[in-house]
Structure 1
Amino acid sequence: MNPISLFCILAGVTLNAGAQLLLKAGTNAVGHFEFTRANILPIAFRLATQPPIIGGLACYVISVGVWVIGLSRVDVSIAYPMLSLGYVVNAFAAWYLFGEVMSVQKLVGIGVILIGVVVLARS
């Protein structure tokens, strides 16, 4: 995998992970909600107008473009497993940004993911 291909794949992964974090920030701003017939439109409007949610959706759109470019250069059997790096990024970012718990079990899972990505990338 050449540097440009690697950049495209990692940029897609990063944008995808960033989108998830922005969506979480947007839902945190709205707070816990239940969809019922009475509140579906007001909640949908509040969600749709949250800047972090708009930013997250924009990240998704850009990530698809970058990802398509990456897929044109890299075998999908190599590129797709790289998406799992998003789990690693999000686990640490959620711990840092949102105060989510980082347990030993999560750290072991992250280690397994990283080993798997290295093995696949070297194949």
Structure 2
Amino acid sequence: MTRNTLLLLLTSILCGVGGQFLLKAGATALGPVSSDNLGQKLLHMTLQPLLWGGLGLYGIGAIAYIMVLSRAKLSAAAPVIAMSYVFTVLGGNFIFGEAIPLIRWVGVAFIIAGVIMVVSS
């Protein structure tokens, strides 16, 4: 995989993760959604700019990923997308103050090791 393709893949990952963060922030602003208030919350969802921003970042990430797939093997590109889990766990901790148990850190370490093996093969 070339350097430019790796940069596109990183862009795709970061846009996806950024989309996750914006969706989380938008969902938090909405408050709890349940079957009892879904109809009312649907209108609020359509008017929530953080949710639109999150969906927009997902779209940009998808376009970047399509560009990656046009240049690289799926078997090499797809596993690297797992780095999004690493960035999401870190962002959940640093941005949203979520506690990260030790077993999750172990899982993150395994993901990083696996991605390193895939990229170097």
Q: TM bucket by the smaller chain?
A: over 0.9
The residue number in structure 1 matching 2:8 is 8
Where does structure 1 differ by over 4 angstroms across 4 or more consecutive aligned residues? none
> Contact 1:95–1:102 at 8 Å: present in 2 too?
yes
* SS of corresponding position for 1:98: coil
Q: What does residue range 77-88 of structure 1 map to in structure 2 within 5 Å?
A: 77-88=75-86
The normalised TM-score by structure 1 is 0.94
* Uncovered stretches (5+) of structure 2, i.e. residues with no partner: none
The normalised TM-score by structure 2 is 0.95
Q: Percent identity?
A: 31
Q: CA–CA distance in 1 between the matches of 2:6 and 2:19? A: 20
CA shift, 1:35, in A, is 2.2
The residue number in structure 2 matching 1:98 is 96
Aligned residues: 121
Q: CA–CA distance in 1 between the matches of 2:100 and 2:120? A: 29
* Uncovered stretches (5+) of structure 1, i.e. residues with no partner: none
Post-superposition Cα deviations, 1:59-115, rounded to whole Å, max 9, x if no partner, equal 111111111001111100010011110000000101111111112111111000000
Q: What does residue range 58-97 of structure 1 map to in structure 2 within 5 Å?
A: 58-97=56-95
Q: Give the residue type in structure 1 aligned to 2:120.
A: R
RMSD (Å) for aligned C-alpha atoms: 1.0
Counterpart of 1:46 (choices 40, 44, 47) is 44
CA shift, 1:32, in A, is 1.0
Quick check: 1:33 aligned with 2:37?
A: no
